[in-house]
Amino acid sequence: MKKSMISIGLISSLALTIFCGAVVVAKDNADNASTPPPPPPSAHHQEGASPANNEALEAYQQQLAGQSEAILKTAADLAINTEGLELKDIVKAIGDKDRDKVHELGLTPPPRPKGKGHASNKPNNTPAEPGKEKPAPRPERGEAPGTQGPADPAGGNKPAPVVDGSNPEQTANSVVISGGFSTDPQDKGRPVVLIAAALGVPTEVFREAFSGVTPAGLDRGPTDDEAQRNKAALLKVLAPYGITNERLDEVSNYYRYNGRNGGTWPKTQATATVNVTDGVVTGVTITNPGSGYSSNPTITVMGPNGKITATATLSYTKDFTTNGSISAITIQ
């Protein structure tokens, strides 16, 4: 009897344990059912592009399609080979050659999507983790540490002098020769000073001789009749100076040019170098005197400490290769 009562007690305890476990499991299932599942990742998280970027890209594709004819014409004008290229690649090639042409097409490229390879939205002043600071860039060869330019050979590491703003491309210790091809207003664009020198007569003498000429214009040569009449008028004044018909033709033909198309008479650009001693400009050496200068050119000398004033002296001769050349450059 006692053993039966113990068995009944064990069975009751086991049943109670199973019942309580079932209640706990049922409660957990109910709690899980009441919690909504996490939302699936959106398309722009999966592909790295937002819906706004996708819309902008579609709008850009429509722009390209609408401007395809203008894009291809612009590419042809810039001699760009478009074979096998999509319109967006052609536009990129146009921008590489002439950015203004892309603006003229009125295209608005879409914003670049933020994803791998793009800058993050973290502020730039976020300190780096200890031990992971970015190392300072190594100086280029020939550049001293702590400077932003080539090291001075003498070891001073002095930056290059600032160039005069009127010619930002001119470097220190250089000479730039510009202009020098203007004419006297009374000569109506003709290089009379060069023509007179080549003939070997004073400028005023040739102007007097030319006053009896009926010009054919700078854009064309004279007819046969005009040439005969004009030559007679010129030789009437020039013959006493020993000018022959053949020499007059030679000089006139050499200095004749088409002014309507922006041309000029034959000329050669002069060049020069600056002489510097102990950081001081001591003079200028002419490396090519040039030719064809009808007026004084502008001489810009840039020394170690800035711009220096200089003037040119011209030489006029009967030789075409030296007529109107620079014979000297004087530092002021």
Selection from 110, 111, 69 nearest residue 90 by Cα: 69
| Dist CA 313 CA 289 (whole Å) | 10
| Mean pLDDT of the region 131-139 | 47
Q: Which residue has the higher pLDDT, 188 or 297?
A: 297
Q: According to the model, what pLDDT value does residue 72 have?
A: 80
Q: Which residue has the higher pLDDT, 99 or 221?
A: 99
| Dist CA 292 CA 314 (whole Å) | 10
Is pLDDT at 116 greater than 60 in this prediction? Answer: no
Q: Give me the residues paired with residue 271 across strands.
A: 288
Are 273 and 213 part of one and the same domain? no
Q: Give me the residues paired with residue 310 across strands.
A: 299, 331
Range of the domain at 245: 186-254
Q: According to the model, what pLDDT value does residue 221 have?
A: 64
Of the pLDDT bands very low, low, confident and very high (cuts 50, 70, 90), residue 328 is very high
Q: Give me the residues paired with residue 301 across strands.
A: 175, 308
- DSSP percent split of the chain into helix, strand, coil, nearest 5: 40, 15, 45
Instruction: Locate 121 and state its tokens.
Output: 């939205």
Are 321 and 273 part of one and the same domain? yes
Residue 297 lies in a domain: yes
Residue 162 lies in a domain: no
> Residue 276 is inside which H or E element, if any?
strand 271-277
| Mean pLDDT of the region 91-106 | 76
Are 248 and 274 part of one and the same domain? no
Min mean pLDDT across 73-82, 122-131, 223-232, 266-275 is at 122-131
Are 193 and 243 part of one and the same domain? yes
Residue 122 lies in a domain: no
Q: Give Rg (Cα) of the chain.
A: 43
Residue 85 lies in a domain: yes
Residues 6+ apart with CB under 8 A from 135: none
What is the separation of C-alpha 254 from the centre of its chain, rounded to a whole number of angstroms?
A: 37
Residue 2 lies in a domain: no
Residue 79 lies in a domain: yes
How long is the chain?
Answer: 332
Could you read off the pLDDT of 46-95 as tens digits, one per residue?
444 456 567 777 777 777 777 777 788 777 777 787 777 788 888 888 88
| Mean pLDDT of the region 24-46 | 49
Read off the DSSP letter of residue 291: B
Q: What is the mean pLDDT of the chain?
A: 73
Residue 298 lies in a domain: yes
Half-sphere exposure of 66 (CA within 13 A, CB side): 10
Last residue of a domain, one of 254, 279, 302: 254
Is pLDDT at 139 greater than 80 in this prediction? Answer: no
Are 284 and 308 part of one and the same domain? yes
Is pLDDT at 164 greater than 50 in this prediction? Answer: no
Q: According to the model, what pLDDT value does residue 161 have?
A: 36
Tell me the H-state helices in the chain.
2-34, 43-47, 51-66, 68-77, 87-97, 99-104, 192-199, 203-210, 224-238, 245-254
Is pLDDT at 264 greater than 70 in this prediction? Answer: yes
Instruction: Locate 105 and state its tokens.
Output: 């097409």
DSSP string of 37-50?
Answer: PPPPPPHHHHHS--
Last residue of a domain, one of 254, 282, 299: 254
Min mean pLDDT across 72-81, 203-212, 245-254 is at 72-81
Last residue of a domain, one of 104, 129, 157: 104
Are 200 and 234 part of one and the same domain? yes
Amino acid code (one letter) for 275:
N
Are 271 and 321 part of one and the same domain? yes
Are 193 and 247 part of one and the same domain? yes
| Mean pLDDT of the region 230-241 | 94
What is the separation of C-alpha 158 from the centre of its chain, rounded to a whole number of angstroms?
A: 27
| Dist CA 295 CA 293 (whole Å) | 6
Is pLDDT at 226 greater than 80 in this prediction? Answer: yes
Q: According to the model, what pLDDT value does residue 96 have?
A: 80
Are 249 and 274 part of one and the same domain? no
Count of domains for the chain: 3
Are 296 and 320 part of one and the same domain? yes
Q: According to the model, what pLDDT value does residue 110 have?
A: 61
Full-prediction pTM beyond 0.85?
A: no
Which of 43-57, 125-139, 149-163 is the most confident on average? Answer: 43-57
Three-state DSSP at 176 gives strand
CB 158 within 8 A of CB 144: no
| Cβ neighbours of 128 (radius 10 Å) | 8
Residue 136 lies in a domain: no
Are 237 and 209 part of one and the same domain? yes
Q: Give me the residues paired with residue 313 across strands.
A: 328
Are 217 and 240 part of one and the same domain? yes
